[in-house]
Amino acid sequence: MDDPTVNWSKERYDEIESKMVPFLKLSGYNVKKDVRFLPISGLLGTNMKTRMGKAICPWWNGPCLFEALDAIEVPLRDPKGPFRMPIIDKFKDMGTVVMGKVESGSVTEGDSLLVMPNKTMVKVLAVYCDENKVRCAGPGENVRVRLSGIDDEDILSGFVLSSVARPITAVTEFDAQLQILELLDNAIFTAGYKAVLHIHAVVEECEIVQLLQQIDPKTRKPMKKKVLFVKNGAIVVCRVQVNNLICIEKFSDFAQLGRFTLRTEGKTVAVGKVMELPLGYNS
């Protein structure tokens, strides 16, 4: 907004907002509830920490960025729910140490847990937040957990440290609702389409094995006609298959572990959420 060619122009601001709103709606956002637009200068810091003066932008009466961030309601996470911690990294240090963010439940020194999807029982030797050893950690905290019972070579990024009583599900296929953003070279999206799946810490090659139904973007209801392929901007329910077991949850049960993106050649072509897990798959 501070660029000399823009100079905090309300016309330019309104133009950007008018172009972004339809895209965000197609991507599944509730624009009135979940999206806030405000003018800032990232390079100069204008309207970020403190509100800018009328001399800079006379038409803006809203908050600065920090005020807008402070007003956001943080999603509730269940400290008493089943333990879930996607593993983003691991290393060896007087045992095996795994790193990640606690998404649900809590972890305490002495706990017995499962590393999924390989179903290895482990014991928690120590828990660290930053550089400090702590007795326990809860949802939203980034932690390092020292484990016994497993070698670091048997752990990959995307594995999940999970409670024993209610372990996370491991699957090789699932049904998902996808919002197609922009396919490369205006390709069509059909059964056989291959991409790279990114879901929590998992990065895995995948294939669309079946298109189940197309969703009307205006009514958000299934369309009656049989769907063989879709193009940019479509919403479609499909079956996704991966080669190796991955740990995921239904979006309706656990949003953090049920939302994902599909990427091709480094470009995001679709965003999606896990709708159903196959019957019979169990941890």
SS (H, E, C) 25-66: HHCCCCHHHHCCCCCCCCCCCCCCCCCCCCCCCCCCCCCCHH
Strands (E), the chain: 84-92, 96-101, 107-108, 112-116, 120-129, 132-134, 136-137, 142-148, 160-162, 169-180, 189-190, 194-199, 202-215, 229-230, 235-248, 259-264, 267-276
Which pLDDT belongs to residue 248? 96
Q: d(Cα 71, Cα 238) in Å, to the nearest integer?
A: 36
Same fold, 84-162 and 169-276: yes
The whole-number pLDDT of residue 281 equals 56
Q: Is residue 258's pLDDT more than 80? A: yes
Q: Which residues contact 26 (CB under 8 A, 6 or more apart)?
A: 179, 217, 233, 235
What are 74-107's pLDDT values in tens digits? Answer: 777 778 889 999 999 999 988 899 999 999 999 9
* pTM score, whole prediction: 0.80
Average pLDDT over residues 161-184: 93
Spell out the domain ranges in the chain.
10-70, 84-162, 169-276
What's the CA gap between 273 and 259, in Å, rounded? 4
- Of the candidate CATH numbers 3.40.1360.10, 3.30.300.30, 1.10.760.10, 2.40.30.10, the domain formed by 84-162 belongs to 2.40.30.10
From 41-45, 103-107, 118-122, 217-221, the region with the lowest mean pLDDT: 217-221
Determine the average pLDDT of the residues in 152-167: 94
Arithmetic mean of pLDDT, 112-132: 94
Check residue 232 and give its pLDDT: 86
Measure the CA–CA gap between 160 and 246, rounded to whole angstroms: 9
- pLDDT, the chain, mean: 91
Mean pLDDT, to the nearest integer, of 269-276? 93
How do residues 238-255 score in pLDDT, each as one tens digit? 999 999 999 999 998 888
The better pLDDT of the pair 105, 217 is held by 105
User: Using 50, 70 and 90 to split pLDDT, how confident is the model at 146?
Assistant: very high
Question: Is 108:127 a contact under the CB 8 Å cutoff?
Answer: yes
What is the reported pLDDT for 79? 83
pLDDT for res 28 = 67
Asked whether residue 178 carries a pLDDT value surpassing 90, the answer given is yes
Higher per-residue pLDDT: 170 or 23 = 170
How high is the pLDDT of residue 30?
A: 82
- pLDDT above 50 for 283: no
Q: Which residue has tokens 């309706």?
A: 252
**Residue 67 three-state SS:** helix
Return the bridge partners of 128, or none: 133, 144
Mean pLDDT of 115-142: 93
Per-residue model confidence (pLDDT) at position 215: 87
Q: Annotate 258-271 with b (16+ C-beta within 10 A) or e (fewer).
A: bbbbbeeeeeebbb
Q: Higher confidence at residue 216 or residue 259? A: 259
- Please, are residues 87 and 98 in contact by the beta-carbon 8 Å criterion? yes
pLDDT of residue 228: 87
pLDDT at residue number 148 = 94
Residue 42 above 90 pLDDT?
A: no
Question: With pLDDT > 70 as the criterion, what percentage of the chain qualifies?
Answer: 98
CATH code, residues 169-276 = 2.40.30.10
Q: What angle do CA 28, 261, 167 make, to 5 degrees?
A: 100
Identify the pLDDT of residue 230: 87
- 109 pLDDT higher than 90: yes
Q: What is the pLDDT confidence band of residue 280, given thresholds at 50, 70 and 90?
A: low
